[in-house]
């Protein structure tokens, strides 16, 4: 079984944010959504828009320098 950095996507009250992504990043998000659905048994691929926030959250949570600097604020 593939061990992805993301697991199930939690529901939370969203804040609308519009971003532009390179097409290659969007394709990778679509592929990630398909793999995530396969590994979690979700059935349908997870939409790229639902992946971005958990990925950013995970990235920031594992960035030691960011956590140190944030702790000083």
Would you list the DSSP string of 5-72? S--SPPP-----------HHHHHHHHHHHHHHHHHHT-SSPPPHHHHHHHHHHHHHHT-HHHHHHHHH
Q: What are the pLDDT digits (tens) for 16-64?
A: 889 999 999 999 999 999 999 999 888 899 999 999 999 999 999 998 8
Q: Residue 3: in which H helix or E strand, if any?
A: none
* Higher pLDDT, residue 10 or 26: 26
**Tokens standing for residue 65:** 């320098």
User: Region 10-18: what's the mean pLDDT?
Assistant: 84
Q: Assess whether pLDDT exceeds 70 at residue 73.
A: no
């Amino acid at each position: 079984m593939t061990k992805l950095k993301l697991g199930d996507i939690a529901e939370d009250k969203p804040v609308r944010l519009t971003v532009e992504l390179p097409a290659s990043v969007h394709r990778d998000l679509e592929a990630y959504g398909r793999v995530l659905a396969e590994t979690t048994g979700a059935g349908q691929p997870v939409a790229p828009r639902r992946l971005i926030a958990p990925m950013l959250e995970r990235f920031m949570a594992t960035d030691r320098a960011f956590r140190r600097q944030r702790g000083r604020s």
